[in-house]
Chain A
Amino acid sequence: MSDVSFVRHDQIPPSPPPAREAGLVKWLRENLFSGWLNSILTILAVYFIVRIVVGVYPWFANGVWEGNSLADCVAALEGQSGACFAILGERWNQLLFGISYPSESYWRPFLAFVLLLPCVSPVLFSNLPRRLLVLTLLYPFIAFWLIWGGTILTPIVGLIGFIAAYYAFLEGEKRSGFVLGLIAGVIAAIVVWRVGGMLSGAASGFLAFEPVASRDMGGFMLNMILGTICVSLSIPLGIALALGRQSSMPIIKGICVVFIEFVRGVPLITLLFVANVVLAYFFPPDANIDLILRVIIMITLFSAAYIAEVIRGGLAALPKGQYEAADSLGLNYSQAMRLIILPQALKISIPGIVNVAVGLFKDTTLVSVISMFDLVGAIRGPILGSANWTGIYWEVFGFAALLFFVVCYGISQYSQWLERQLQTDHRD
C-alpha cells in the first residue's frame, strides 16, 4: 500500500448543461417543438399569425381618424388600403347614446354610467364597508332620474314607497306572519305611490331635467340599460322560480316547471316579437306601455327561467343534511331558506349566474331585430344606411365587438376572482 493518496477537498464546479437543455432553446424544444406533430402545429400557427398581422397591421396603421365621409377617407388614403376610423369619431354619440337622445343631455347617461361602478362595487367586493350598500339601493332611483329626466320627485316617491313597504312588511310579519306582512307591504307601497304620484304630478317642474321618452334611448346605452335592469330583476324572480320548482307542492311545482321549460324552449327573438306585437293585447285597453318596458318584461322573464335552472342546480348540490339541520333547529321555511339554504346555494351558483348575465347582456343586441336602435341597431340602420358611410363595416362592427368584449371579459374575470374568494373548502 502506498502512502500517496489523493483526496479532493473542493467540489468540481458543475459543467454547464448542454446548449439544448438550457434557456430559450430548452423552452422552445419543450413547448413548441417537442415532436413532429407539435412542430407542424407550431409552424402552422406561426404562419397563421404572420398572415393575420401582415394583413391587418397596414390596414390598422394607415387608418384615417379625421373625416366626415367614406369619400374623405378614400381621399386621405391615396390608394393605400387602410381603415376608416373617422366614422367612429363622427358617429361617436350615436354609437353610445342612439339617434334621438337630446345631445345637450349626453352628460346625464354618462354620469349615470360613471356612478354605476362605485354604486355596484359594495355588492361586488365584500371587503368594502357594508354601509356603502345604501348607495347601491339608491342607485336605481338616481339613474332613473338622470337618464329619463323629469322631476326628482318621481324617483323620490318611488323610493319612499319601497321604504314604506319594507317597514310595513316588518311590522306585519312580526304580528301575523310572512304572508300577511307581504300583503301589508304591497298595500303600503301602493298607497304611497298613489298619493306621491299626485304630488309629483302637481309639482312636475321641481328640480326637473328635460324628460326623455323611452323610445329615444339607443346605442350602447340601451344595451347597458337593458342588461343591468333585466339581470337585477331576474335574479329575485329566478330564485322564486327555483324554490317553486323544488317545492313539494305539486301545483306550484307544476306552474314553475311549465314556465321554465316553455321559456327555455323558445328563442329570445320570439319573445321579443311577443313584446313587439302581441304583448300590448294583453294589457288593459287604455294602458299605454311603451316598447322598452315591454321588452324589459320579456327579457326579464327569459333570463329568470335560465337563472332559476342555475339556482336549482345550486340547491340540488347542497347536502340533504343542511335542510334537516335547519328543520331540527326549528326554523320555518322562510327562515331556513334565508339563513341556511340560499346563502350556500347562491354561492355555488355564482359562476352560472354570471354566465347567464353575460349571455343576457350579449342577447340585448337582439332588440335590433324589432327595430330598436341599440348599438347594433344603430349601426345597421342609420349609420350604415347614411349615404356618407355606405360600404363600411369592419370598423364599426369591430368597435361594437370590442365594447362588448371589454364588458363581458371583465365580468367573467370578476366571476373567476369571486369564485376563488368564496372558496371555503380546502382543496389542493
Chain B
Amino acid sequence: MSTIPDPGVRQDGFRIGMLINDTRYRAYTFQFIALLLLLLGIGYLISNLLTNLERNGLDISWAFLGEPAGYDINQRPIDYTSQSTHARASIVGAINTLIVAVLACASATVIGVIAGVLRLSNNWLVARLMSIYVEAFRNVPVLIWILIIFLAMSNALPQPRAFRGENATSEVWLDLVAFTNRGVYIPAFENGSGSVVFWLTILASIIGVFVYRRYARNLLYSTGRMLPTGWPSLAILIVPGLVMYFLLGQPVGLERPELKGFNFQGGIHLRLSLIALWFALAIYTGAFIAENVRAGIQAISKGQTEAAAALGMRPGRIMNLVILPQALRVIIPPLISQYLNITKNSSLAIAVGYMDITGTLGGITLNQTGRAIEAILLLMLFYLCVSLTISVIMNIYNNSVKLKER
C-alpha cells in the first residue's frame, strides 16, 4: 500500500508559517532568534563599554603588565623586587594561590577522611564530637573562620622577642620550628656538593616502591603467591637514601631558623596569613569532605561486608579490598568539587593580606594602574584554567576507579 499524499498540504512547498509551526524547522527558528538576541545583547554591552571608555578617556591596553610594579610582596616563592613588572607580581601571586590551594587540599582530605570515619564510629562520644565539628564548620561562613583563626593566632602566638634571653618564655619547638605571631619558621634544606645525587636517589626509591608494589600485585594475580609489602616498601624508601647520605658525606643539611636581632633569620618563613588561610580552608572544607566520606561509606550496603566476612576475610582486608574501592566511587565526584571550592575560596586571602593572585593582580595592580577590565579578565582566566585543570585531572582519576561495566 502506498502512502497517499495529503491533498491539503503541498509536499515540497515551504511556507513562512512552517518556521514556527513545523517541528522540523522550529528548532532552527528558535536558535536563530536566540543567537540574534545574544549577539544584540553582546553588541549593546560592548557599545556601552566603548562609549563609557571614550567618555572617561580610557582604552584597553595590556602594556601595564610590563611596567614596574612598585610594591612589595612579603611571601615570594620566586625572586621578586618592587622593581619587577606587574606580570611578575601576578605570577608570584598565582604561585602563592597554588601553594595554599595544594596545602589546603591535602590537609582537608586528611581531616575530612578522619572526621568522616570517626563520625560513623561506634564510640558515642567521638561520633557526637565529630557531628558538632561538622555542623559548626559547615554552617558558618568561611570568611568568618579565616578572620577568627587569623586574629586568634596573631594574638595568641608569642612575639619573636619572647624567644630571646635567659628567661625566654617560648622556645623553638624541637629546635626546628618556631611559632611566632609573625608566622611560622621552619628549617630549610641546605644543599651541599653531591646533593643532586642524594635527591635523585630519594626520587628513585619512591619510584622503586611503586614498582615493587606493582610487581607484588602482578605476582599475586598470576601465581597466587603473596609477597609482604609493608616492610619491604619502607626499606626501599629509607635504606638507599640513608646509605647515599653517609656515602656522600652528608651533602644535605638543615638550615635552622635562628633569632637574630628582632626577628628570626634563616629557614623558611611561612607568613601567619598563609598559615591561617591554610588552616581555615583545611578545617572548613574538611567538614564538607567528612560528610562526603560518611555518605560514601554508608552507601555501601551491609551485605558487602557480610559477604566478604563469609568469604573468610579479615576486617582490615574487608575495608581495603571491598568497602573502600566501592566507597571511593561515591566519594570522588563530590571530592572534586570540594577541591575546586578550596581553590576558589583561596581568593579570600585578600581578607588576611596573603598575597595571592587576587591580592596582587586583582588588588594592588588593579588599584595602581586602574586597568580594572584587563586585570579582572586575566584573574578570571587564571581561575578558570586552574578549575578546568583540576576537573580534568580528577576526572581521569575518577574514570580509573569507576566501575568497569561490560
Q: Report the contact-size class of chain A (Cβ under 8 Å from the partner).
A: 35 or more
B265 within 8 A of A: no
CA distance A423 to B84 in the complex (A): 61
CA distance A45 to B121 in the complex (A): 13
What are 20 A-B interface contacts by the 8 Å CB criterion? A38-B123, A41-B121, A45-B123, A250-B31, A255-B34, A265-B387, A269-B358, A270-B358, A273-B366, A273-B379, A274-B376, A282-B48, A365-B141, A376-B143, A391-B155, A393-B155, A400-B144, A401-B148, A405-B139, A409-B135
Residue in A45, A265, A397 whose CB lies within 8 Å of B144: A397
Known contacts A278-B372, A278-B373; is-contact A397 B151 (Cβ 8 Å)? yes
**Chain A residues within 8 Å of B314, by CB:** none
On whether the beta carbons of A252 and B30 are closer than 8 Å, the reply is: yes
Q: Tell me the minimal C-beta distance from B383 to chain A in angstroms.
A: 5
Residue in B118, B122, B147, B345 whose CB lies within 8 Å of A267: B345
**Chain A residues within 8 Å of B20, by CB:** 177
Q: Tell me the minimal C-beta distance from A410 to chain B in angstroms.
A: 9
CA distance A276 to B225 in the complex (A): 66
Q: Report the contact-size class of chain B (Cβ under 8 Å from the partner).
A: 35 or more
On whether the beta carbons of B122 and A278 are closer than 8 Å, the reply is: no
On whether the beta carbons of A281 and B27 are closer than 8 Å, the reply is: no
Across the A-B interface, the 7 shortest Cβ-Cβ residue pairs: A408-B139, A267-B344, A31-B124, A362-B141, A265-B387, A277-B372, A251-B31
B211 within 8 A of A: no
CA distance A26 to B143 in the complex (A): 44
Q: Mark B232-258, 1 if CB is under 8 A from A, else 0.
A: 000000000000000000000000000
Residue in B143, B358, B387 whose CB lies within 8 Å of A365: B143
CA distance A369 to B45 in the complex (A): 26
CA distance A398 to B373 in the complex (A): 37
Known contacts A270-B380, A408-B140; is-contact A265 B151 (Cβ 8 Å)? no
Residue in B27, B122, B129 whose CB lies within 8 Å of A248: B27
Which parts of B91-143 form the interface with A (CB within 8 Å)?
118, 121-126, 129, 135-136, 138-143
A285 within 8 A of B: yes
Which parts of A70-87 form the interface with B (CB within 8 Å)?
none
In the complex formed, the residue of A with least CB distance to B28 is A249
CA distance A277 to B31 in the complex (A): 33
On whether the beta carbons of B136 and A405 are closer than 8 Å, the reply is: yes
**Chain B residues within 8 Å of A117, by CB:** none
**Chain B residues within 8 Å of A277, by CB:** 366, 372, 376
A380 within 8 A of B: yes
Which parts of B129-170 form the interface with A (CB within 8 Å)?
129, 135-136, 138-145, 147-148, 151-152, 155
- Interface with A: B8-16, B200-208, B216-224, B346-354, which one? B346-354
Residue in A358, A366, A380 whose CB lies within 8 Å of B348: A366
On whether the beta carbons of B122 and A38 are closer than 8 Å, the reply is: yes
- Using a CB–CB cutoff of 8 Å, the interface residues on chain B facing chain A are 20, 27, 30-31, 34-35, 38, 45, 48-49, 51-53, 55, 118, 121-126, 129, 135-136, 138-145, 147-148, 151-152, 155, 340, 344-345, 347-348, 350-351, 358, 362, 366, 372-373, 376, 379-380, 383-384, 387-388
A42 within 8 A of B: yes
On whether the beta carbons of B30 and A249 are closer than 8 Å, the reply is: yes
Q: Tell me the minimal C-beta distance from B33 to chain A in angstroms.
A: 9
A57 within 8 A of B: no
CA distance A404 to B142 in the complex (A): 11
Q: Mark A267-292, 1 if CB is under 8 A from B, else 0.
A: 11110011001101111110000000
**Chain A residues within 8 Å of B55, by CB:** 285
Known contacts A249-B31, A394-B152; is-contact A46 B143 (Cβ 8 Å)? no
A266 within 8 A of B: yes
**Chain A residues within 8 Å of B379, by CB:** 270, 273
A48 within 8 A of B: yes
**Chain A residues within 8 Å of B141, by CB:** 362-363, 365, 376, 404
In the complex formed, the residue of B with least CB distance to A366 is B143
On whether the beta carbons of A376 and B144 are closer than 8 Å, the reply is: yes
Residue in B30, B125, B136, B384 whose CB lies within 8 Å of A265: B384
